[in-house]
A and B are shown apart, each in its own frame.
Chain A
Amino acid sequence: SQQGEEDPQALSIQEGENATMNCSYKTSINNLQWYRQNSGRGLVHLILIRSNEREKHSGRLRVTLDTSKKSSSLLITASRAADTASYFCATGGGSNYKLTFGKGTLLTVNP
């Protein structure tokens, strides 16, 4: 079963705008991760946030985690055409080896 559900399923914005994607999950987690996938390629790990963290930054990426609402958001600031990709959230239980992925948000950044 898939734990994370991203919202929206698709997002289209202009270059320079910010993009926000959301992820909701159902059970308690140890950490939540965001990945990026360019069309027809493998996934690339972007950022990991642990359950005791509320916010994390990496370059133009900002991730928040609200464990009380079982939700996370990924903000990409000052988007570029090269940010066009699918973005997936994934949840992990910590000591187990199973990382569960959502269905992803397809982000299109128009030049």
Chain B
Amino acid sequence: DGGITQSPKYLFRKEGQNVTLSCEQNLNHDAMYWYRQDPGQGLRLIYYSQIVNDFQKGDIAEGYSVSREKKESFPLTVTSAQKNPTAFYLCASSTGPSGYGYTFGSGTRLTVV
């Protein structure tokens, strides 16, 4: 079955550590996205990629980094520069621009310990 797989489901980070969240899709979608969701809040865009080897900052990119070396994969690194990383992270993909529906993964819950 086609879909998006995010791993791990839960992740714990120590202060000062970098961690990488995985996002893989087998939908043959060109575009991929990372969103952050805080309790009771909507989704805020961190980074997005329209095509392989290209990505753009979203609204809250500071403290995060991404890569898009393969069409299927769009990993997100939460760096130590991100001062408040505890949140629910959602990866999504779409066939094209925002005029198409997004397919979301099941999310990664990151907690700083």
Which residue numbers of A lie inside 8 Å of B, CB to CB? 1-2, 4, 30-31, 33, 35, 40-45, 48, 50, 88, 90, 92-104
Which B residues are closer than 8 A to A by beta carbons? 4, 6, 31, 33, 35, 40-45, 48, 50, 56, 58-59, 88, 90, 92, 94, 97-107, 109
User: Would A92 and B43 count as touching, CB distance under 8 A?
Assistant: no
Give complex CA distance A41, B104 in Å. Answer: 9
Specify which of A40, A50, A95, A98 is in contact with B58 (CB 8 Å cutoff): A98
Q: Contact at A42–B101, with CB atoms within 8 Å?
A: no
Closest 7 CB pairs of A and B: A92-B98, A42-B104, A45-B101, A101-B43, A103-B42, A101-B42, A99-B98
Q: How far is the CA of A31 from the CA of B100 in the complex (A)?
A: 9
A33 to B58, CA, bound (A): 19
Q: Which of B4, B42, B101 contacts A48 (CB 8 A)?
A: B101
Task: Please give, as numbers and ranges, the residues of chain B lying within 8 Å of A104 by CB-CB distance.
Answer: 42
- B98 near A94 with CB under 8 A, answer yes
B57 to chain A, nearest CB (A): 11
CA distance A97 to B33 in the complex (A): 9
CB contacts (< 8 Å) of A41 on chain B: these are 106-107
Q: Give the residues in chain A near B100, CB-CB below 8 Å.
A: 48
Query: Is B42 in contact with A94, judged by CB distance below 8 angstroms?
Result: no
A44: chain B residues at CB < 8 Å are: 104
Given contacts A41-B106, A42-B105, A44-B104, contact A97 B98 (CB under 8 A): yes
